[in-house]
Amino acid sequence: MFGGERMSLENITYPLTMTHRRTNITSKPFDNPHIRQIIDRMIRTVTTLNPGAPLICDPFANKSFTSGLYNCITNDLNPEFDTTFNLEFHDFAKKMKDNCMKFDLILFDPPYSLRQLKEQYNGIGKDLELWQTHNMWSKGKDDLIDCLIEGGYIISFGWHSSGWGKKRGMVKKEIHLFEQVAREDRYDLILTIERKEQSKLELLFEGIEE
């Protein structure tokens, strides 16, 4: 498990890979070579599953490398960033759903806390709405999950491994813990990979006998 080696946990009901690595984590985790290696692997995975035209979504792109990918729809609240859209996440997710977009992979790297969210909004001179302070991303996730194909993947970043959850049809496949090197004042980063294995309709009727 340690030093980046993988370990399958047989006592879990589904195959789950967990890793631990000590590395330097900055405010742009996509720039970390170990994290980028995982992202590139998942991009190759969805390309194999959909060799025609796999579509990727990055709702919080910032200055990410994803803005340079021809098959990636990018978004960032800050209009200074050269992304496909510059919308609040909730509005972006609804727009994707209304336009019947279908993604093979979603990269989800939002602000991890209310403090980070406030800093993001203050940085562009906007005010937070009340609903955002209570539940930052839930409604947007509910809309955007409809845009993920069955069998598609979500890579989530944060200080927990909750991901998008079973209620949205997601099953955890991998959890990677990145421990901050030589900085006890910084949190570790957790990367969670989930796969969509049920639709909302299947979840609605789950457990109902004929």
Angle at 143 between CA 140 and CA 145, to 5 degrees: 105
Distance in angstroms (rounded) separating the CA atoms of residues 86 and 19: 34
pLDDT in tens, 50-101: 877 799 999 999 999 999 999 999 999 889 999 999 999 999 999 999 999 9
101: DSSP letter: -
Is 34 exposed, middle or buried (CB count within 10 Å of its CB: 0-12, 13-18, 19+)?
Answer: middle
pLDDT confidence band for 187 (50 / 70 / 90)? confident
Taking only the tens place, the pLDDT of each residue in 87-143 is 999 999 999 999 999 999 999 999 987 777 777 767 666 666 655 666 778 999 999
User: How confident is residue 9, by pLDDT bands cut at 50, 70 and 90?
Assistant: very low
Q: 205: helix, coil or strand?
A: coil
Mean residue pLDDT of the chain comes to 85
The model carries a pTM of 0.85
Residues 151-156: what's their mean pLDDT?
Answer: 97
Say whether pLDDT at 198 is over 90: no
Residue 59: helix, strand or coil by DSSP? coil
Amino acid at position 22, single letter: R
Virtual torsion, Cα 71, 173, 187, 35, nearest 10 deg: -40
Residues 192, 159: contact at Cβ < 8 Å?
A: no
| 116 alpha carbon, distance to own chain's centre | 17
